[in-house]
Amino acid sequence: MAIIPNKLECAYCLRNYTHGGECKEPRNSDSGCLGFKQDPKGCIKGGYKLTKLSFPLYHEIPMLNEWTSGWTINGVDTEIKITHIKGIRWNTRKGELIIIGYIEYYENEYHKDYKKDIKTKLKIIDGGKNQ
């Protein structure tokens, strides 16, 4: 994994409270944190602006406030969490259900397979059909 700048260590740390850890105080400085343990999934982004997610017909939609895998962002596998749904629309031409809401996701810009893109795109990578 690539080296993360000292000022971003808290966002990428497994011990941070946003990743389920116990650390709540930013301890990063110019020299870095001694307790830093990198989360391979990256840092948590999103949750502050409305986002649209498209689901193919018969695809299982994840539960609210639960992390679900089976997504990719800029070429790297990730997890998402839908925190709030504001609206639902149908795209009848493509056969997709579009959920409009607040979504959090992991993004690791320092992953070796990460492809920097101007616009971040979340894509479903599993089949996910209901049985």
Structure tokens at 36: 């830093």
SS3 118: coil
Q: Cβ–Cβ contacts within 10 Å for residue 126, how many?
A: 12
SS3 99: strand
Determine the pLDDT at residue 129: 42
pLDDT at 11 over 90: no
Encode pLDDT of 79-130 as tens digits.
999 999 999 999 989 899 999 999 999 988 888 877 777 566 677 666 444 3
Encode pLDDT of 38-70 as tens digits.
888 888 988 888 988 888 888 888 899 999 998
SS3 117: coil
pTM of the model: 0.78
Q: Rounded CA gap, 84 and 36, in Å?
A: 31
